Amino acid sequence: MTRLAVIDFETTGISPGQGDRATEVAIVLLEDGQVVDRFQSLMNAGVRIPGFITQLTGISNAMLATAPSAAQAMADASRFVGPLPMVAHNAAFDRKFWQAELARIGIPAPQPYVCTLLLARRLYPQAPNHKLGTLVDLHRLPRTGQAHRALADAEMAAALLAHMQRDLRQRWNVAAPHCDVLLKLQSCTKAAVAKLLATAKHSIA
């Protein structure tokens, strides 16, 4: 499947297991390196946003007062994604909120997750670090909107993913760097990735 859903959440903290909730969700649909659709929504989960989170994201309690409920926003997001594989930068974070928020409304979340952070560590070990903003600047990709807002971060992650797919085609001769290939690469050790890419035409193209 060539279409991927690149997602980003803004949240009240780092752990849904400890009561943290999502405050904003954004999803960018990427197909053959091009953005073909977008979804974004604030979401009111009935919890207060800590002051330091408001300073980081700009999302305030007043903004959420008139936002759709978390149940409505997540139901809409789930319909938007459908069965598509998902992508996020530091996917472990976004995946746990995706699963936790959907579990609250009884919607399954079976989608596989590609992680651009893991891929970047394997494809670009020379990067000074593998934060999203650093990688965007390193590869001279466009910065869109306000950092630490879901749509801006999802669009930057989508641009990074498209850049990775181009590099896999052009530098490493991977003919079809789609979901299965990306999942395989991110789960490999760095040494295994180097060997795999050296024989990419035969191994994973």
Token pair recorded at residue 174: 């991977």
Q: What is the pTM of this model?
A: 0.93
**pLDDT tens-digit series, residues 145-161:** 777 799 999 999 999 99
Torsion 6-29-158-187 (CA) sign: positive
**pLDDT tens-digit series, residues 65-88:** 999 999 999 999 999 999 999 999
Percent above pLDDT 90 for the chain: 82
pLDDT band at 144 (very low <50, low <70, confident <90, very high): confident
Q: Number of helices (H) and strands (E), helices first, in the chain?
A: 10, 5
Closest CA to 180 of 203, 160, 157: 203
- The CATH code of the domain that includes 15 is 3.30.420.10
**Residues 6+ away with beta carbon under 8 Å from 37:** 28, 29, 80
pLDDT at 54 over 80: yes
Q: Amino acid letter at 33? A: G
Count of domains observed in the chain: 1
pLDDT at 202 over 60: no
Q: Amino acid letter at 165? A: Q
Task: Work out the average pLDDT over 32-43.
Answer: 96
How many CB atoms lie under 10 A from the CB of residue 128?
Answer: 9
pLDDT band at 200 (very low <50, low <70, confident <90, very high): low
Q: Of all residues in the chain, what percent are helix, strand and coil, respectively (each to 5)?
A: 50, 20, 35
Helix or strand or coil: residue 183? helix
Task: Work out the average pLDDT over 115-133.
Answer: 96
Helix or strand or coil: residue 50? coil
At residue 23, the pLDDT reads 98
Residue 171: exposed, middle, or buried by beta-carbon count in 10 A (0-12, 13-18, 19+)? exposed
CA distances 170 to 12, 31, 140, 167, 201, Å, are: 40, 18, 17, 5, 12
Token pair recorded at residue 97: 């909120």
Q: Which domain, by its residues, includes 80?
A: 3-203
Task: Work out the average pLDDT over 21-48.
Answer: 97
Closest CA to 72 of 48, 39, 38: 39
At residue 147, the pLDDT reads 72
